[in-house]
A and B are shown apart, each in its own frame.
Chain A
């Protein structure tokens, strides 16, 4: 690069900077002109002030606004923190303000040089946080919510924004079960609120409401702020969707007058964090010999199937973002690519996201129009799931446990090894190589928000969003895959399309008014939403070769089309709501928020079409009281109390309440094969939302001048009308189970969050963050009525492995048979606890005893960070405990009856069990763990001498560096969603340990 060019660029930069200053100056000047105040012109003895604004470390702060108090005259500081303000009255007061810093006021008093040091506002009370349908200042919050800003997010190989939040918000548990590419973590806010009605929080990204899949469309680096609404007084504004909590994401926007070009990227190496100890071929042979398994099943190989099926994976993340604007127009655009290669061979996920937001003001700035567009394409190559044999079905990688180490991968003729003597033999390597399982998800959304100031204080808003997700997948299983169905049918190919459409429209009125010490903000909204679900599927079988895969279904053999090979569906859901909220503040000390929402939904049964969801909360900013002044122990103290009623309709699928007939199988009648039509479900016109009532008491505190700050919340929530799939008596119901609103459960908890800044001096800054939450759940009742049918039950299964819902117990309490050794044929014995001479395996069996619960009782996280000069270091330690895990994998691979059929865990020799008829406590283990989740070290370069780079940071991050647990399975974080495998380890995609290098550059 020659001198000339550098010079040229320097000039361009200078010009741009000047332009920037100019635009700002214009803006301020214009504002001044409009304000119509002319009194300052009458001032005498005006001076020109200049100076530098710096932070506590002495570094200059660019972009600080410097305004003459009581006027709109002002300027902002330049790149070096310098400002100059001419024509300032001698007796004026200058106000210096910057986001995240405390405002400072300095009297001019004839000084011409005023240098100012701004202090960081540790508590960030002036921060603006999102609440439903609006924003508020953090100090005005009355409900319980957690705010995570972009600087607090976890770093490293992040593929889903949720991973960035793990451990960062108290009472918000973000769990990743395995590291399958494209798999999303699950989020539970204040525990499980519903048994099967769904516990995923509502996700709101820039006003667009949706489910957790919205996070697939969000580039992790594009998040500005995340607000997590936890208690019902905060979430009631979302009515029948608010019960599981709400995650509100605000994405980065361009600031008027700022131009920016940013790149952020990372590359990580992902490896297996843990591996189960199975027999090697030689060890397996000696086991077979010891248990008289005939030699005919030994095929002479030495294969480590797990090793063959895994590899070192990688994750890449690249985002280019740029934006800019003038006073009444600004935009930000970004393009991201998240590319993940899994640790299991042939599994990957590539996600490409582009977004654009633009804001235009008009009508003398009374009208603001905001457009938000987002497109994403996600391409996934999935490791086959649900494969295996009659005895063991699971994901592909867990089938590596099943495969015998003495079986070769390839046969002598070079084909995949296949043992014809074994019922439904499967070669997992052949499955990995010969099954194509591709999925592409295209998502797009567009939203437009129009805000119009009608008169001062009164705003009308219109918001419309339309999101469409198209998921298309293709699957082909070659007969070479050794999957028995594919071999039977000479290849199976199918294509599937699912379309989901979310449309939302709301009309809102906002009114803000300050009258003396009274501050009122009111909101009224009408909202209409429709979700449409549609899709089709086609399958064909019997291919002459593997050339076509799923791209030419008609190449399948004639007459191979069976029932279920062609399907399509469509259904939808409409929700109509009206809602209102009033915030009232008196004297900045006493705050009241009250809201009411009325929701109607098409999925509710005929007898309950509309529901009301009220809430109210109060807060008292004690530290603002006179009696709190003049002491420096407590710098901030706010007491909060809130109560609200929320609902949950996630578990209500369209048409669930109706008695419907649908085409099903083929039948033979009247001498011919004809289509059968039959009733597919039990009708329930009483079906409705679950109701959750929650009381929250909270304290926000700041001590020792803000060196220690945090919050403590206590809550008690009761979910009534619990939606659950109840086993109904047959007779009279045709289907053995049905969804009904019966029963109630209670969640109670305490959450502590604390931040301590022990050192913030010179080059050092140390912040120790920690949080801890305790959660107690209790099933109150399960009995109730479905129509006229009394459902009288005190216990139902939760998951399939000894976890139950029982009145008076925690959700997912284990009632389990007690191992009592083995009999002389090495078959497991269990204790006949009630001594009646028989072992009862029924759910009410008195031979079962209570053995803990599947859900953790406590969760905690420790998030220290240190900054020294240009270095920064942060860590996340996270843990949970008080729970048990039913280790189904261990049970499946520990009995020697399986020798000859499958590999076994080395620990199986300790028990010496031949077989077992029971899922006993022999396989129940403690689930407590502490995970060293994240360690990140960063270095921020000195860019003063670089012409075009204003910021550059290089970082190295390790993820999942260590797990401390007694659990003997692969990873102690297992599925506790309430589905069929809840509380049990049924074989997970391996969890990775990753090391990533990250680079952030701002030009």
Chain B
């Protein structure tokens, strides 16, 4: 009997001692605990910004391969990564450039996923900051960020699911019309931008201060007609006027032999964006925060080591279509951002590649290895390697605002008032002033040259009605990119999103 007692006691001891099944967490933090703490709310706002720079996997605003930037730029007439006759690069970029995209295309899915990740974290930041009774300034910043993401979503996809509270189920998240989203964005910005900090640079570098907020508001109004059918030119002008208080000016453009592109104009695209002109910058430090691949992805293999550093291997990817290149005047200092021919802009070390600016074949059999002019607008700065460079990226800058003002004035039949704004931009680029009042076409062309590769082209083409037109010309005189119907002005909602939520309504035509 004694044995039984000992055994049962022993058993009881172990059983009582070892039934704790609460999960121990050693290397992470419970989310509620973290966000309830003081650092949690700040961290929530900061981690929204963490999502903006691009990295691999198609995430981020710019810098990454196959994400939002490629979606909005490879689809325009200003750049393409062609398939090469030597076998390099699959034709997926070229297909995209030719507007052969389908809802299953990776760029589309990547951009969608990235943007909704941003919305979720912006919602989280708003909620946490409001709960923590944070300053209006900080809450407003989170709300403006969220409006920014909805603006990007609505701009690309039209009617999109809308939610500002994360604790919802999918059936509580309606797909709202583009116009409804537009109203939300406008209201949110009008209510909050005034609270934003007026500080420029320093701890507000790369953040939405008041001026960046007005720039965003102006952008939303500028395209209002596309989004809602009703133009908002005066509202756009008002936002641009409000922004003037920030004291912006065009960054000087003078010859500068020390810069590879030979002009101080290109400081706008250097390691850090100058805050005289740049209203909102994206901070990039390669391998730490984001990456800027624009130039590394463009140049041919051997040029990398010759021009950017011994171990830098460049990708021989992006080229500038001939037609786009040809719109630049030879004296236009902005033409120095392109590299082609035997006497190119920039350094000419022995053995540099002579790029042939005339390239009209992107898929079958593909471009020649040295075919197509290359982009060096962001001459690699800061830390550089084969994975990219550290150039910051201007999201909004004053030259854009000037041209927006001009556009609104021309739309309001005040072309005479618009002229000085256009001329300012032209003269900085080394061109003469216009000899007549600007037309919409003048403004379109000026935007195209001034803001090339900066991520505005798709929006501009749609607003000016050129997006679905044919462009380029091949050896048979046929367009390289044939005209398409207007449904291509919206991207399709990605297949994966519809697969996960079949109640989503696909955009017309897809």
A132 part of interface (Cβ distance < 8 Å): no
A602 part of interface (Cβ distance < 8 Å): yes
Write out the residue numbers on chain A whose beta carbons fall within 8 Å of the beta carbon of B363: 825, 915
User: Contacting A562 at CB < 8 Å: which of B124, B287, B366?
Assistant: B287
Binds B, one of A485-493, A935-943, A968-976, A979-987: A485-493
Q: Would you call B500 and A729 a contact (CB within 8 A)?
A: yes
Interface hits, A811-844 → B, CB 8 Å? 825-827, 838-844
Q: Would you call B31 and A509 a contact (CB within 8 A)?
A: no
Write out the residue numbers on chain A whose beta carbons fall within 8 Å of the beta carbon of B387: 488
Q: Would you call B28 and A731 a contact (CB within 8 A)?
A: no
Q: Would you call A568 and B27 a contact (CB within 8 A)?
A: yes
Tell me, in angstroms, the Cα distance from A570 to B207 when the chains sit together: 36
Write out the residue numbers on chain B whose beta carbons fall within 8 Å of the beta carbon of A840: 102-103
B12-25 vs A, Cβ < 8 Å mask (1 yes, 0 no): 00110011111111
B7 part of interface (Cβ distance < 8 Å): yes
Write out the residue numbers on chain B whose beta carbons fall within 8 Å of the beta carbon of A528: 14, 18
Tell me, in angstroms, the Cα distance from A669 to B301 when the chains sit together: 35
Q: Would you call B11 and A677 a contact (CB within 8 A)?
A: no
Q: Would you call A423 and B87 a contact (CB within 8 A)?
A: no
B265 part of interface (Cβ distance < 8 Å): no
Interface hits, B1-52 → A, CB 8 Å? 3-4, 7, 10-11, 14-15, 18-32, 34-35, 43, 45-47, 49-50
User: Contacting A454 at CB < 8 Å: which of B4, B173, B311, B364?
Assistant: B4
Q: In the complex where A569-B27, A602-B24, A790-B171 touch, is A576 in contact with B19 (Cβ < 8 A)?
A: yes
A126 to chain B, nearest CB (A): 32
Interface hits, A597-612 → B, CB 8 Å? 600-604, 609
B414 to chain A, nearest CB (A): 40
User: Contacting B116 at CB < 8 Å: which of A419, A490, A730?
Assistant: A730
User: Contacting B34 at CB < 8 Å: which of A677, A728, A825, A841?
Assistant: A677
Write out the residue numbers on chain A whose beta carbons fall within 8 Å of the beta carbon of B53: 668
B159 part of interface (Cβ distance < 8 Å): no
Write out the residue numbers on chain B whose beta carbons fall within 8 Å of the beta carbon of A660: 25, 28-31
Q: Would you call A902 and B87 a contact (CB within 8 A)?
A: yes
A290-301 vs B, Cβ < 8 Å mask (1 yes, 0 no): 011110110000
Q: Would you call A662 and B364 a contact (CB within 8 A)?
A: no
A828 to chain B, nearest CB (A): 12
Residue from A422, A680, A897 with most neighbouring chain B CB atoms (10 Å)? A897
A17 part of interface (Cβ distance < 8 Å): no
Please count how many residues in chain A sit with their CB below 8 Å of the partner chain's CB atoms. Answer: 103
Interface hits, B271-301 → A, CB 8 Å? 283, 285, 287-289, 300-301
A571 part of interface (Cβ distance < 8 Å): yes
Q: Would you call B26 and A570 a contact (CB within 8 A)?
A: yes
Q: In the complex where A602-B23, A666-B288, A843-B495 touch, is A676 in contact with B50 (Cβ < 8 A)?
A: yes
Write out the residue numbers on chain B whose beta carbons fall within 8 Å of the beta carbon of A514: none
B369 part of interface (Cβ distance < 8 Å): yes
A702-740 vs B, Cβ < 8 Å mask (1 yes, 0 no): 000000000000000000000000011111111110000
Write out the residue numbers on chain B whose beta carbons fall within 8 Å of the beta carbon of A762: none
A320 part of interface (Cβ distance < 8 Å): no
A308 to chain B, nearest CB (A): 21
A584-601 vs B, Cβ < 8 Å mask (1 yes, 0 no): 000000000000000011
A674 part of interface (Cβ distance < 8 Å): yes
A434 to chain B, nearest CB (A): 16
Q: Would you call A668 and B7 a contact (CB within 8 A)?
A: no
A789 part of interface (Cβ distance < 8 Å): yes
Q: Would you call B88 and A668 a contact (CB within 8 A)?
A: no
Q: Would you call B495 and A789 a contact (CB within 8 A)?
A: no
B257 part of interface (Cβ distance < 8 Å): no
Write out the residue numbers on chain A whose beta carbons fall within 8 Å of the beta carbon of B119: 731
Write out the residue numbers on chain B whose beta carbons fall within 8 Å of the beta carbon of A673: 285, 288-289
Please count how many residues in chain B sit with their CB below 8 Å of the partner chain's CB atoms. Answer: 99
Chain A residue, CB-CB nearest to B163: A731
User: Contacting B499 at CB < 8 Å: which of A479, A489, A844?
Assistant: A844
A484 part of interface (Cβ distance < 8 Å): yes
Q: Would you call B23 and A898 a contact (CB within 8 A)?
A: no
User: Contacting B23 at CB < 8 Å: which of A294, A563, A568, A654?
Assistant: A654
Q: Would you call B302 and A420 a contact (CB within 8 A)?
A: yes
Chain A residue, CB-CB nearest to B501: A729
Write out the residue numbers on chain B whose beta carbons fall within 8 Å of the beta carbon of A35: none
Tell me, in angstroms, the Cα distance from A790 to B170 when the chains sit together: 8
A363 to chain B, nearest CB (A): 11
Q: In the complex where A528-B14, A736-B113 touch, is A727 in contact with B496 (Cβ < 8 A)?
A: yes
Tell me, in angstroms, the Cα distance from A736 to B58 when the chains sit together: 14
B305 part of interface (Cβ distance < 8 Å): yes
Chain B residue, CB-CB nearest to A662: B28
Q: Would you call A423 and B317 a contact (CB within 8 A)?
A: yes
Write out the residue numbers on chain A whose beta carbons fall within 8 Å of the beta carbon of B313: 420, 423-424, 484, 487-488
Q: Would you call A658 and B21 a contact (CB within 8 A)?
A: no
A259 part of interface (Cβ distance < 8 Å): no
Q: Would you call A732 and B170 a contact (CB within 8 A)?
A: yes
Q: Would you call B289 and A668 a contact (CB within 8 A)?
A: yes
Q: Would you call B166 and A732 a contact (CB within 8 A)?
A: yes
Tell me, in angstroms, the Cα distance from A78 to B120 when the chains sit together: 81
B266 part of interface (Cβ distance < 8 Å): no
Q: Would you call B170 and A421 a contact (CB within 8 A)?
A: no
Write out the residue numbers on chain B whose beta carbons fall within 8 Å of the beta carbon of A603: 23
Chain A residue, CB-CB nearest to B50: A667
Write out the residue numbers on chain A whose beta carbons fall within 8 Å of the beta carbon of B116: 730-731
A39 part of interface (Cβ distance < 8 Å): no
Write out the residue numbers on chain B whose beta carbons fall within 8 Å of the beta carbon of A897: 83, 87, 90-91, 364-366
B293-328 vs A, Cβ < 8 Å mask (1 yes, 0 no): 000000011100100000111011100000000000
Q: In the complex where A297-B86, A488-B387, A489-B385 touch, is A421 in contact with B369 (Cβ < 8 A)?
A: yes
B502 part of interface (Cβ distance < 8 Å): yes
Interface hits, A784-802 → B, CB 8 Å? 787-790, 792-793
Write out the residue numbers on chain A whose beta carbons fall within 8 Å of the beta carbon of B316: 421, 423
B352 to chain A, nearest CB (A): 13
Chain B residue, CB-CB nearest to A542: B311
Chain A residue, CB-CB nearest to B309: A488
Tell me, in angstroms, the Cα distance from A259 to B289 when the chains sit together: 68
Tell me, in angstroms, the Cα distance from A484 to B388 when the chains sit together: 13
Q: In the complex where A420-B301, A572-B24 touch, is A731 in contact with B120 (Cβ < 8 A)?
A: yes
B457 part of interface (Cβ distance < 8 Å): no
Q: Would you call B369 and A296 a contact (CB within 8 A)?
A: yes
B181 to chain A, nearest CB (A): 13
User: Contacting B305 at CB < 8 Å: which of A420, A569, A730, A734?
Assistant: A420
B392 to chain A, nearest CB (A): 9
Binds A, one of B198-206, B332-340, B396-404: B198-206
Q: In the complex where A655-B23, A671-B202, A732-B168 touch, is A915 in contact with B31 (Cβ < 8 A)?
A: no
Q: Would you call A734 and B28 a contact (CB within 8 A)?
A: no
Chain A residue, CB-CB nearest to B11: A507
User: Contacting B86 at CB < 8 Å: which of A294, A655, A659?
Assistant: A294
Interface hits, B41-96 → A, CB 8 Å? 43, 45-47, 49-50, 53, 55, 83-91, 95
User: Contacting B311 at CB < 8 Å: which of A297, A487, A677, A838?
Assistant: A487
Write out the residue numbers on chain A whose beta carbons fall within 8 Å of the beta carbon of B14: 505, 507, 526, 528
Q: Would you call B311 and A661 a contact (CB within 8 A)?
A: no
List of 9 A-B pairs having minimum Cβ-Cβ separation, nearest first? A901-B87, A667-B50, A900-B87, A729-B501, A668-B283, A671-B203, A842-B495, A669-B46, A660-B28
Chain A to chain B contacts (Cβ below 8 Å), 29 pairs: A292-B85, A294-B85, A421-B369, A423-B301, A424-B315, A425-B301, A484-B313, A487-B313, A507-B11, A569-B27, A571-B25, A609-B21, A661-B29, A661-B35, A666-B50, A666-B288, A669-B49, A669-B207, A673-B288, A676-B46, A676-B47, A677-B34, A679-B31, A680-B28, A729-B501, A731-B173, A787-B169, A827-B364, A897-B364
Q: Which residues on A are within 8 Å of B, measured CB to CB?
A: 291-294, 296-297, 391, 419-425, 454, 460, 479, 484, 487-490, 505, 507, 509, 526, 528, 562-563, 568-572, 574, 576, 578, 600-604, 609, 654-655, 657-662, 664-674, 676-680, 683, 727-736, 787-790, 792-793, 825-827, 838-844, 897-902, 914-915, 917
